[in-house]
Amino acid sequence: MIMKHLVTLLFIVSLFASCKNEASKKETDFVLRNFSSVEIETLIQDSTLNVRALELLKNEQAFIGTSDGRIGVIGTNLSDKKNEISITPYTVKVDTFVANFRSVAVTSKAGFLLSIGAPAFLFKSSDFGVVPVYTENHPKAFYDSMEFWNDQEGIAIGDPTDDCLSVIITRDSGNTWNKLSCDDLPKAKEGEAAFAASDTNIKIIGDKTWVATGGKASRILYSPDKGKTWKVFETPIVQGISTTGIYSIDFYDELNGFAIGGDYTKPEDNTANKIRTRDGGKTWQLIAENENPGYRSCVQYVPNSNAKSLVAIGFKGIDISNDSGATWNHLSDESYYTLRFLNDSSAYAAGKGRISKLVFR
């Protein structure tokens, strides 16, 4: 039985630790396994929860932000080794504004939560409490995803408010954030934006950063130097209307990447919704064309799989590929928005009304 209890912000902050995705580490060997099933353990089921923002902490724990401004920690209680969910009684809000979190990030010293919509608020949670460190009042402000390169430097991206994607960067441990000028970024195409579907629009490996856009145009923005300079690469994924394009991107290493999306209003459509790169994002090829899965909101490489195994999830279920995305097996109809791998066989998944642990066999 899942235990639930309220915890203080200090408890949550004490759990923060830098946790890099195991898939981004350089590996000297691997064991290729053909996963064919998934076991689902529901950790928490609560109709009031809506979770699209999920990041790993130490000791098989994860940090979440909810659509109604709550902060949560999921994981194993270290004293009795039992699964336990902790959601703070604290609702993050400014005046009457209640945050809807679609992006979270963690460093070894703090957690960060980014709200969607206008005004946009970015909060830092630490020993000193939860405080806003960035505010943007532009009526078009809408931030979608956030990641950190290291404890000092981080990036968040959002829809254009001018003629380029919104990009804000911190270089001082998240205490201050500065928005990049459109003079320093590729110009956005008409109707190009991003999706706040799973907090996986950004992928970082070392100093390199890939950002996926979507909508009427769906491209990859690439920075080799932690956001100082940028290039843009075209993709063949479905695009042309506001609901199409890339919803999620992941890289296994500096060369091998995968992106998935489609049109969430036509979730069964599997035409031009999966693309792969083997040259660091410079060129992309359609893969598994006209084959399932259709629309999915999140894709992640399985750690230690040599870029062979991928899991894609969305509100239409869970799918896995064991051949770098060429073919896919549908494992479950269970609905989720986002997931993060704990190791090379298990992950946390979150969505509407529940958070689960997935074990792949």
Cβ atoms within 10 Å of 268's Cβ, excluding its own: 11
CB 106 within 8 A of CB 16: yes
pLDDT at 79: 52
Length of the chain as a residue count: 361
CB 99 within 8 A of CB 79: no
Q: How many structural domains is the chain composed of? A: 1
* 3-state SS, residue 182: helix
The answer to whether position 29 is within a domain reads no
The answer to whether position 68 is within a domain reads yes
The answer to whether position 327 is within a domain reads yes
The answer to whether position 21 is within a domain reads no
pLDDT tens digits for range 307-340: 999 999 999 999 999 999 999 999 999 999 999 9
The answer to whether position 23 is within a domain reads no
Give the pLDDT band (50/70/90) at residue 99.
confident
Please state, in angstroms and rounded to a whole number, the distance separating the CA atoms of residues 215 and 193. 6
Beta bridge partners of 266: none
pLDDT tens digits for range 269-319: 999 999 999 999 999 999 999 999 999 999 999 999 999 999 999 999 999
Q: Taking the CA of residue 29 as centre, how many other CA atoms within 13 Å lie in the half-sphere pointing to its CB?
A: 1
Cβ atoms within 10 Å of 339's Cβ, excluding its own: 25
The answer to whether position 84 is within a domain reads yes
The answer to whether position 126 is within a domain reads yes
CB 346 within 8 A of CB 339: no
The mean pLDDT of the chain is 89
What is the amino acid identity at position 141?
A
For residue 319, CA distances in Å to 164, 196, 216, 334 come to 34, 21, 26, 10
Domain range holding 79? 3-14+39-360
CATH code (residue 211): 2.130.10.10
What is the amino acid identity at position 53?
A
